[in-house]
Amino acid sequence: MRGPVRETGWAGRGACRTSDPDLFFPLAPTPVQEARAKAICGACPVLTECRQYALRAGEPEGIWGGLTPAERRRLRFSAGRRRSHAG
């Protein structure tokens, strides 16, 4: 994957490592590209690590751990709401 991956131990085992980075970081994403990238993520042995990294790092672009930027924002927003209601 392209981008500032600093936690590279898991990234080298990613299913995306042999894929075209433009599939995961398209300039103008289409539903077909998104589905293809997510299919690769779905079979990935490091899906959880990738997703956790993207959420922690606040990755603003690309498909990471099978999630689009909008999906990651929704997850972060709902997690923040749960924390604020728990305290």
Mean of the pLDDT values across residues 63-86?
A: 82
| Distance between CA atoms of residues 27 and 35, nearest Å | 15
* pLDDT tier for residue 29 given thresholds of 50, 70 and 90: confident
Average pLDDT over the chain, rounded to whole? 86
What residues form the annotated binding site? 16, 41, 44, 50
What residues form the annotated binding site for [4Fe-4S] cluster? 16, 41, 44, 50
Tell me what pLDDT residue 9 has: 86
Across the strands, what pairs with 67? 64
Mean of the pLDDT values across residues 39-61?
A: 95
Is 61 a residue whose pLDDT tops 90? yes
Provide the whole-model pTM.
0.79
Mean of the pLDDT values across residues 67-85?
A: 79
